[in-house]
Structure 1
């Protein structure tokens, strides 16, 4: 080998060639990276998001949430518009305060907006969100909602439960009659009556605890309170471990365990009862409770999926919480507003007593003829929707709404409370005026987006008829049997929870007419 050939293949020359190749590759990668970044920036610059209030580092707009979020959202929307994007921790959150935008969501994009955020409390209390309210949108949701609408909450089923409403309201009336001329806590009486009605319809019995022990109602109310407790993991998913450190998750699991044991006992009792009935006389269809109906559907192979015990318990939890708390809350607000507006109270009582006449009881047919009473209920739900932000939704994919780009997995709140108090829609918006509904076709069934206390679209409340039947019947009896006087100044302050209730319970003095 000659020196020239050695020089041709010297290590230096080989290394230089290799370095040149590497440098060329790096230059190409660098150019491609810059071009990609430019494209991304260009693409990102075309994304138009809704107006947002200024946010703080890390926490975003959480500090602007307040203790009454529906009021905080309303105040912010006055400044930033009816379609507003907040950042609650790491969670993008869309707030809608316009009936037109709510209509567009329900009519044009309902499927995209039909999912639910999976909160920490919902996953614990509802067995991984196996209920109807929080289960993700899809075939499982369709099947479970169909069961509720067709089998549990149909108009026929609501009518079948009238005997329960009648018995529980009679007991309430007798208790009030025994306390006439005295001051009573009407709020507590309404909670007890509503809970008893729902408990008998859903579970088959009133489950009253022995003296000194904890009742199912007490545990259920504790669960309702904990359901809306602040969870760090809901706003900062990577910091969910903090909820263990603070003790929140152990508390939720402890309460959930109490409820689970109770539901398991109820289910086993029903299975034993149904086994005995099959060997003897079949149970009267009209008197079946929700547990028996669901178990029967599973046994008869009437479902397109397996209804596990966890599914059943989650649905029962849905029915109890949504059915009892919302009804008692609406009744409490209705009585409070009428006590503050004696002319309305007098007009409603005159109608109720005129329709019932001298009969010994108020029946369902009578209630159907009470047009002004229905206006009172509508006006109560307008001013005081039990769930002012409805149930939160979540986007399943990106969507264009009013020219804005809404990303997937965005939490969505429709502020029904703000919409129903909008002075551009409602005359004397902040006043209690049932007469506004006397010659109006507007109702609460989800087609008039200025009035949506039960929500709208696929995720609207399936228990509307069940709740309204109880509210109207109880209210008619209260107005028929007693005159009412407030025992105190009526404080209309609110407390935010699963429902928005009066902060100060309603203490009143009933008298015989």
Structure 2
């Protein structure tokens, strides 16, 4: 049986999101990711695509990305002054994605001061709370438990601090007369919050996993570096013009997304009407979960799926646009992530720079067998422990 036509036909039926209590409190019940499907959601998606995520807009942010990539390289070079000193690559990568998003959304970044650290902690806590299991979403009368386990207090504190931060962000879109849906400050803050959370943590997590896999497989890292260095031919700086030729690099990112998708393994949806799927009667408002991890690790779809093999994407048209249902790290259908164009250069450019400017090794006493692949539970599946690597500058 051909399943893809069946799935396409029911996308519109399962395009709703189930109610998530903590998410509603943290994102004003008005954001794009968790809003119910309807006219408001459609308008919000249009605004996001028009103002932030269109191809033209993403291209306009190119200078920001290239500048931040160069800053990242300079920061690592400063850390190389002492021989064999390891750097916290997880922290450096998060700083890159965070700075890009801050400059795009606010026209400024926080730098390295205490404010930057506080903002990073604020985002991390937000993502943890969004992804935490809340038994009250399934058994409402258990909600009282959250008064004793501290979750209600944490949500209230994070919501207040995040709101204060967003109030300082320019909210010019609220006065856009072309919007069909009337938008107030909370609507725009919810859109900006989506950008900060989805645009920062997901790309950073993917890059950390990519570097983790490459340090575990040095032969693959060497092949990717050879490709990058042959294309750039000793240039001082990599530009986004160079990325189009880096096919192996793109395969590495695809494989990192397949094995370590930053999105939740179980993607929640909700039916908006009664339907029948593969002989099963499914009532309206039924919560269903798409197990994208199981799809990406299915031996019937992938040869040796547990292995990190970027070349499995060689000479294939498989990408992460949501058209190939065996590979959906950004989702698919109407609720697929609208930020793919924004995320792609945010992953490719920094990874190319890391592999071009430096050779990487593990700290003294650490072997490839010791590399930790444990995941931190939450809405974003980050690497639980920081990735500590030793960079060696290349003399270009």
| Structure 1 residues 96-141: Cα deviation after superposition (integer angstroms, max 9, x where no partner) | xxx9757633x1111210111111111111112x011111000001
Question: Highest CA radius of gyration, 1 or 2?
Answer: 1
Which of 48, 51, 58 lines up with 1:148 in the alignment?
48
Asked if structure 2 preserves the Cα contact closer than 8 Å seen for 1:103 and 1:449, the reply is no
Residues 450 and 100 of structure 1: CA distance in aligned 2, closer, same or farther (over 3 Å): farther
Q: How does 1:113-152 map to 2 (within 5 A)?
A: 113-128=14-29, 130-152=30-52
Tell me: CA distance 1:197–1:248, structure 2 relative to 1, closer, same or farther (3 Å). same
Q: Distance in 1 between matches of 2:115 and 2:108?
A: 20
Q: Which range is displaced more, 489-498 or 202-211?
A: 202-211
Q: 1:373 aligns with which of 217, 237, 249?
A: 249
Select the residue among 466, 469, 489 that pairs with 2:342.
466
- 1:54 aligns with none
Structure 1: runs of 5 or more not aligned: 1-98, 271-290
Q: Is contact 2:17–2:269 with CA below 8 Å preserved after alignment?
A: yes
TM superposition score normalised by structure 2: 0.93
Change in 2 beyond 3 A, CA 1:138/1:207: same
Segments of 4+ moved more than 6 angstroms: none
Q: Return closer, same or farther for 1:159/1:423 CA change in 2, 3 Å cut-off.
A: same
Name stretches of at least 5 consecutive residues in structure 2 with no aligned partner.
none
Cα distance, 1:212 vs structure 2: 8.2
Find the counterpart in structure 2 of residue 337 from structure 1.
213
CA distance in 2, matches of 1:466, 1:213: 22
1:161 to 52, 61, 66: 61
Instruction: Specify the SS of the correspondent of 1:144.
Output: helix
CA contact (8 A) 1:390 1:455 kept: no
Deviation readout 1:72-116 (Å, 9 max, x if unpaired): xxxxxxxxxxxxxxxxxxxxxxxxxxx9757633x1111210111
The correspondence for 1:480, drawn from 330, 352, 356, is 356
Structure 2 contact 174–188 (Cα < 8 Å) conserved:
no
SS across alignment from 2:215: helix
TM-score when normalising by structure 1: 0.72
Match of 1:234 in 2: 137
Structure 1 residue 208 displacement after superposition: 5.0
Q: Does residue 1:502 correspond to 2:383, yes or no?
A: yes
**Cα offset, 1:444, TM superposition:** 1.1
Name the CA distance, whole Å, in 1 between partners of 2:204 and 2:2.
30
Distance 1:103 1:199, change over 3 A: farther
Equivalent residue number for residue 195 of structure 1: 98
Q: Could you say which residue in structure 1 is the equivalent of 2:203?
A: 327
> What is the alpha-carbon distance in structure 2 between the residues aligned to residue 223 and residue 102 of structure 1?
35
Root-mean-square deviation (CA, aligned residues, Å) is 1.9
Residue 344 of structure 1 aligns to a residue whose secondary structure is helix
Alignment correspondent of 1:109: 10
Check 1:454–1:211 CA distance in 2 against 1; reply closer, same or farther (3 A cut).
Answer: closer
Q: Name 1:457's counterpart in structure 2.
A: 333
Where relative contact order (Cα < 8 A, 6+ residues apart) is larger, the structure is: 2
Distance 1:385 1:131 in 2: 22
**Cα distance in 2 for residues equivalent to 1:251 and 1:227:** 11
